[in-house]
Amino acid sequence: MSATVVKQKPKTGLNIRKIRADFPILNRKIHGKPLIYLDNAATSQKPNQVIDSIVDYYKNYNANVHRGVHTLSEEATEAYEASRKKVADFINAGDSRQVVFVKNATEAINLVAYSWGRTNIKKGDEILLTDMEHHSNLVPWQRLVNELGAKLKFIPIDERGQLQMSKDKLQKLVTSKTKLVAFTHVSNVLGTINPVKRIVSDIRNLNPDAKILIDGSQAVPHMTVSIQSINPDFYVFTGHKMLGPTGVGVLYAKKELLEKMDPFLSGGEMILEVEKEKSSWNYIPWKFEAGTPNIAGVIGLGAAIDYLSGIGMKNVREHEKELTIYALEELARVNNLVTYGPEDAERRGGVVSFNIVNEKGKVAIHPHDLASILDSEGVATRSGHHCAQPLMKVLDIPAAARISFYIYNTKEEIDILITAIEKAKKIFRL
């Protein structure tokens, strides 16, 4: 059992004490104090079940996949492809051949930019993004439009951190030149949950030919996601934010798009036949998985999905919503503290960014200084621009502190956070 005392039973009925016991790192002490891990939007901790699945692979059936006919290879291939089926079922993707394993969401977006974008985006075309995008869903498109002579456009946000998506405004942004619309499902800074199903529908009504990519890195780990209901052309997320290991992510893409797209990387595994002068590509999804994949990582991701499925994603969402409501209430009691994003917890995920400000509303304690003081109390938070520098400029701040929750966090941890924030204010005489 971890060191943090769990006094309050969540409304979901989840046994948080039992869940926390599955995460060995929560037994750590930082500067002599129990670890309070509130940096889950950056990466989540891993339960024993995921760690054990990786160890089991390396100890008992370590072999390469797909090509071997010996027992170990067949067992590894079976486990690897079983994880692909688990991913497809978890996000309701339908055909598991529409699930491509990559290193992370960043690689997935780059794959789309390279394999689809360089074929389909032409000079004068437009790509529509939003003001709240992570750099991973911005920089690849910057490079693409600069290379091809296309143009980026942006959907702005309002004062509540929500997209300004009225029909009039959207009609001005989505035109016949729009070839791709790419946006986040949940903001990693504001916590804003975008109404993705409605956005997809509105875009298709305005331009049926425009393709749609959604970054689900902050959504899939925390709520029920149904690809077939949302109906995007591309959807990406990463394993390490959902209890899985680092180095494994997922690209979902519609089958007809994957079949037309050229491979991102070339070499072994992604080929069907190779001659001296030419080659033919493997079937989907394997034509996008060149070389030996992260077999252990994929198996670990499958174990993470099993773990989350056992808890139930509705329970995960309700637990985080309860924590978010509590955190917003307690942070509102702290003088000189401002939060960013929607006030309604129904419209935000378990992410809260904030700053300590002076009487003029300017940042009074730099988030890096605040994070250092919080760390001295055992509280792990995030500080900086959170890979969203354009959003920082929109908010007119240099950086922000950020807390983010997961299934093992508690209200008692938020209480300790608040006490640590008050300590930082005293140090800075605020």
Active site residues: 387
| Contact criterion met (CB below 8 Å) for 212 and 233 | yes
Within 61-166, residue ranges assigned H as helices are: 71-90, 105-111, 118-120, 139-148
Scan for tokens 């054990």, then name that residue.
Answer: 52
User: How many residues in total does the chain contain?
Assistant: 430
Residues β-bridged to residue 353? 340, 402
State the CB neighbour count (10 A cutoff) for residue 60.
Answer: 10
Scan for tokens 């908010």, then name that residue.
Answer: 395
Q: Which of 165, 128, 170, 164 is nearest to 145 (CA)?
A: 128
The DSSP code sequence of 333-396 is: TSTTEEEES-S-GGGB-SEEEEEEE-TTSSEEE-HHHHHHHHHHTTEE-EEE-TT-HHHHHHHT
Burial of 360 (0-12, 13-18, 19+ CB in 10 A): exposed
| Contact criterion met (CB below 8 Å) for 199 and 213 | no
Q: Is 226 helix (H, G, I), strand (E, B) or coil?
A: coil
Dist. CA 423–CA 365, nearest whole Å: 12
Secondary structure element (H or E) that encloses residue 332, with its range: helix 313-332
State the CB neighbour count (10 A cutoff) for residue 78.
Answer: 12
Dist. CA 240–CA 133, nearest whole Å: 19
Q: Which of 254, 243, 247 is nearest to 285 (CA)?
A: 254
CA 322 to chain centroid, in Å, comes to 20
Burial of 81 (0-12, 13-18, 19+ CB in 10 A): middle
Scan for tokens 């994880």, then name that residue.
Answer: 83
